[in-house]
Structure 1
Amino acid sequence: MFQNPEQFANATKTLFEFQLETFNTLTNRAMQGVEQAVALNIATARKALDEQIEAGRKVNASVTPQEALDVINARLQPGMAATNAYNQQLGALLSEMSNDFHKAADAHLAEAKSNLSALIYDVTKNVRPGSDNAVEIVKNAIENAFKGYEQVTQATRDAVTAFEQQVEKANAASKK
Structure 2
Amino acid sequence: MALPILDDHQLTVRSVARDEIVYLSSDPERARRPVTPARLADARLVLSEATWGERDYTRQQLTRAVQTAHRTLRPHIEVENVETALEIAARGHADTIAARGVVHRLAGQLPHRLHSAPLRPRLYDHFAIVHRRNTTLSRATRTLIDLATTRLRQATARGRQADP
What TM-score, normalized by structure 1, do the two folds share?
0.28
Bigger radius of gyration among the two: 1
Q: As a proportion of its length, which structure holds more strand?
A: 2
Q: As a proportion of its length, which structure holds more helix?
A: 1
- Larger RCO (CA under 8 A, 6+ residues apart): 2
